[in-house]
Chains A and B, each alone.
Chain A
Amino acid sequence: MNVLETPPIPTLSDFRVSTRQEHLVQEIAGRRRNRRRGRLALGGGAFVASGVTTVLLVLSGPATANAFAAWTAAPTAPAPGQISSAEATCAAAAATPPPDKTAGFATGATQVSLVDTRGPFTLVLFGANTSAILMCVSGPSINSIAQANSQMRSVGGQPVLPQAGKISVNRLQAESANDGQAYTIAEGSVGSDVTAATLVLSDSSDVVTTIGNGLFLAWWPGSAVVTSATLTTAAGSITQPINSPSLVTGGSSNTVERSIGIGQ
């Protein structure tokens, strides 16, 4: 070999380039938003003398948005130990639910089926394809001040298995963080040939799902429901309209039996 010969480098796939490209644009857009917030807050401070209403408006905006500030519309690579920590915390809670639990809580569903990470938030799905499944969310904005860092719900029921190239949204779960902000979890199944799925919500935003083992997971701040999904298969991309299942709230008595605030 010529000593100075150019060593070959495998070409980055179009998919990897577009993933990184989208991430870059989001990061740059995020910095612009943060800068604008900073300027707005500074401006609000300058107007203290001219009116209290202005100051309150400026200060309350960022505070509200910060609850899920680190949330991302697409799954992210987990930080070291993030998944194992979340799984351990959730599994422990599943094994030892509080003594006041209602009957039927799925204490045995400790087999992890799928994990979705978005920034510091971790959503763990236990016991899929069993008679009762559990979903457990961990993250800073779901913490209470007293280090409570998880909420777990038993959601019950068997998933519906979709056809090839299709997605089935089995559950939409309405939740609220410790500061009262709403968020929504979607869980379901995808055809075996689906390699990526992006949910389109009723507020026109997109959320990229985590896919694995024929399942998908996603969640987002707010109470928007799913209106359609863009699915990627080897044959290309297709859009499938979704009739979202009824949004299940934390107070529902049919599928949601109770919630556990771990460590509270």
Chain B
Amino acid sequence: MPAFSEVADSDLLEMAGSEPEAIGELFKRHSRSVYAYCARRTGNLDLAEDLTSIVFMEAFRRRRKLQLSSTSALPWLFGVANNVMRNADRSLRRYRAALNRIPVPANGTSSEEGAIERFEAQEALARAIEAISTLTQREQDVVLLVLWSELSYADAATALGIPVGTVRSRLASARAKFKDSAPVTSKTISQ
């Protein structure tokens, strides 16, 4: 049997039913991206960490409904994350006992430098979220996925469960609203 590190995402989810370590490998691959997505969506770094754990527990629960449009499970995980964050209170209630069992990291105490970086990131997040708050929720969704999380249009469509054309039109609409203040980035041009 190949090492988990050599197994495709879709196979890891299938194997997770009998081999829990497989979901651990999936977590290792994608947790940082999911965490960043949750943080940018909620504006709360601490909450994002717990939500990341919930996303993967939910992913395990829903693994039989998995539909991958690419070799990476990340777009699908972002879709799971969307559902988790849409019902964040319910998700947190549902997984509270499991979250309480997370060990307190012995070296989790931030250094002064780390604390400053965290504080600045939190402030930048608040500003960024405030800036896009004038967009509709649907426009924010594509901004978060395509611009901030660097998903392709197709992967963003998978995450949101909408056609690719809709992703394009919503992003165009969002960009139009910021036409005066937001120069088009290389990222948006390339797509």
Query: B132 is contacted by which of A4, A9, A24 (Cβ under 8 Å)?
Result: A4
A196, CB-defined interface residue at 8 Å = yes
Query: Nearest Cβ distance between residue A85 and chain B, in whole angstroms?
Result: 15
Q: How far is the CA of A58 from the CA of B129 in the complex (A)?
A: 55
Query: Do A74 and B148 touch (CB < 8 A)?
Result: no
Does A34 interact with chain B (Cβ within 8 Å)?
no
Taken together as a complex, chains A and B put the C-alpha atoms of A118 and B99 apart, in Å, by 12
Known: A7-B148, A17-B28, A17-B32. A28 touches B60 (CB 8 A): yes
Which residues of chain A have C-beta atoms less than 8 A from B100's C-beta? 76-77, 79, 119
Number of interface residues of B (CB under 8 A): 53
Contact present for B102 and A20 (CB under 8 Å) = yes
A27 & B32 in contact (Cβ 8 Å cutoff): no
Whether B182 is near chain A, meaning CB under 8 Å from some CB there, is yes
Chain A interface, number of residues (Cβ within 8 angstroms): 41
Q: Which residues of B contact A158 (CB under 8 A)?
A: none
Taking the closest CB of chain A, its distance from the CB of B58, in whole angstroms, is: 11
* Contact of A9 with B40 in the complex, beta carbons under 8 Å: yes
Task: Determine the residue in chain A with the shortest Cβ distance to B17.
Answer: A32
Which of chain B's residues has its CB closest to A18's CB?
Answer: B28
A27 to B61, CA, bound (A): 12
B103 touches A208 (CB 8 A): yes
Q: Is the CB of B182 within 8 A of A3?
A: yes
Given contacts A10-B114, A25-B21, A28-B60, whether A4 and B147 have CB atoms under 8 Å apart is yes
Question: In the bound complex, what is the Cα–Cα distance between A4 and B183 (angstroms)?
Answer: 9
Fill in one digit per residue for B158-173: 1 if any A CB lies within 8 Å of its CB, else 0.
0000000000000000
Chain A residues proximal to chain B, CB less than 8 Å:
1-12, 15-29, 32, 72, 74-77, 79, 119, 195-196, 208, 210-211, 232
Taking beta carbons and an 8 Å cutoff, which residues of B are in contact with A? 16, 20-21, 23-24, 27-28, 31-32, 35-36, 39-40, 45, 49, 52-53, 56-57, 60, 98-108, 114, 117-118, 121, 124-125, 127-129, 131-132, 143, 147-148, 150, 174-175, 178, 181-183, 185
A-B contact pairs, 22 of them (CB 8 A): A4-B131, A4-B132, A6-B150, A7-B121, A7-B125, A7-B128, A9-B45, A12-B31, A18-B28, A20-B27, A20-B53, A20-B102, A22-B24, A23-B98, A24-B53, A27-B57, A28-B16, A29-B20, A72-B103, A74-B103, A76-B104, A210-B104
